[in-house]
Amino acid sequence: MKVGIVGSGLVGSTAAYALVMRGIGREIVLVDLNEKRARAEAADIVHAVPFANPLRVRAGAYEDLAGCRVVILTAGVSQRPGETRLELLTRNAAVFRSVVPGVLAHAPGAVLVVATNPVDIMTHLAARYAAEHGVSSTRVVGSGTTLDTARFRTLLAQRVGVDSQHIHGYVLGEHGDSEVLAWSLVSVGAVPLEDFCGEGGLCIDDGVKKEIDDAVRNAAYTIIEGKGATYYGVGSALARIVEVILGDQRSVLTVCTPMAEVEGVKDVTLALPNLLGGEGVISHLPLLLSPEEHALLRKSAQVIRSAIDELGAS
C-alpha cells in the first residue's frame, strides 16, 4: 500500500514519520518542489525504520505517485509580512491549481487528503480542481477538525480522569476561530458527560467549559508562540486518516469535505462527524446539537462561505 505526500515541510515530513512509527502502509513517497529537502527528509525518516516498522521511504516526482492509494497534500506558501489572508489564499490556490492535476495525472484513483491551511477552503478548492478530472468530492478529504477534536478529548480526559480514547466528543465547523465544541454530544464511554460527572462528583460547569474551549481554540496560537509551528499533532492526525482509508475501517472522524448545504449555508466545506472508508467519505452523521450549537455552526459555515466568495471560488 503506497502513500504519497506532496510537500516535505514540517507537517508533511512529520506525517511520514508518524506513518512509519505506526506501520501504516508499505511505501511512502515524498514529493516537493525543493527536491533536496524531500531527499533529506526521506533519508532521515528511513533511518528510523529499523526501530519501527518495515516501510520503504523515498523521495520522488509526480510520476512516482503512480499506484498511490492515498496522497496527502501539505504543499503551500507561507504568509508574507503585510500580506492579507485573501492574498495568501490566492497564492495557495495557484499552488493547488498545479498540484492537484499533477497528482491525479499519475494517481487517478487516489483519495486526496488535504492538510494545507486554511484547510476548509483549500479542501474546497482541491475538490473543485479534482472534479475537472472526474474525481468525486467524496474522495477529497481535509484534515478538518480532527486535531481540534483530539485536543478537546485530551483536555476533557484530564479533567475527568479517563483515557482520552474513551472520551467521545467533537469539534465541528471551521478549523479556526469559529469552530464549535459540541458539548451536547460529549459522553464518557456510553454515559453522557453530565451523568458521568454527577455520579463521580465532578464539576464541569460553564467556567470549566469556557476554559477548555479557550484552550482548544487557542492551542495553535500558544504552540506557535512557543516553538514557531505545530506539526506533531497534525502529523499524527493525518496518519490516522490514512490508516482509516487504507484499511477501509469505516471510522467516524471530523474531517471536512464539500457539502451541498450545512445549516442553510449552500455549497460549503467544513468539518462534521463523517464516516470515512477506503474510497473517502461514505456518509455524514446526523447532528443532534443544541439550538445554540446549531446557530454557532451556521455562523462558522458562513465564515467559510464568505472566504470562498471573496476568493471567487465556486
Domains of the chain: 2-142 (3.40.50.720), 146-311 (3.90.110.10)
- For the annotated catalytic residues, the residue numbers are 175
Query: CA quadruple 290, 151, 203, 179: dihedral positive or negative?
Result: negative
**Residue 82 pLDDT > 90, yes or no?**
no
Percent of the chain with pLDDT over 90: 88
**Residue 59 pLDDT > 80, yes or no?**
yes
**Residue 218 pLDDT > 80, yes or no?**
yes
Taking residues 148-176, what's their average pLDDT? 96
Question: For position 311, what pLDDT does the model report?
Answer: 85
Question: For position 314, what pLDDT does the model report?
Answer: 60
Taking residues 123-147, what's their average pLDDT? 97
Question: For position 160, what pLDDT does the model report?
Answer: 94
Taking residues 36-63, what's their average pLDDT? 97
**Residue 313 pLDDT > 70, yes or no?**
no
Higher pLDDT, 313 or 21: 21
88 band by pLDDT with thresholds 50, 70 and 90: confident
Question: For position 83, what pLDDT does the model report?
Answer: 74
HEC sequence for the chain: CEEEEECCCHHHHHHHHHHHHHCCCCEEEEECCCHHHHHHHHHHHHCCHHHCCCCEEEEECHHHHCCEEEEEECCCCCCCCCCCHHHHHHHHHHHHHHHHHHHHCCCCCCEEEECCCCHHHHHHHHHHHHHCCCCCHHHEEECCCHHHHHHHHHHHHHHHCCCHHHEECCEEECCCCCCEECHHHCEECCEEHHHHHHHHCCCCCHHHHHHHHHHHHCHHHHHHHHHCCCCHHHHHHHHHHHHHHHCCCCEEECCEEEEEEECCEEEEEEECCEEEECCEEEEECCCCCCHHHHHHHHHHHHHHHHHHHHHCCC
Taking residues 144-171, what's their average pLDDT? 96
Question: For position 106, what pLDDT does the model report?
Answer: 98
The mean predicted confidence, pLDDT, of the chain is 95
87 band by pLDDT with thresholds 50, 70 and 90: confident
**Residue 84 pLDDT > 90, yes or no?**
no
**Residue 121 pLDDT > 70, yes or no?**
yes
**Residue 225 pLDDT > 70, yes or no?**
yes
**Residue 85 pLDDT > 80, yes or no?**
no
Taking residues 132-138, what's their average pLDDT? 96
124 band by pLDDT with thresholds 50, 70 and 90: very high
80 band by pLDDT with thresholds 50, 70 and 90: confident
**Residue 76 pLDDT > 80, yes or no?**
yes
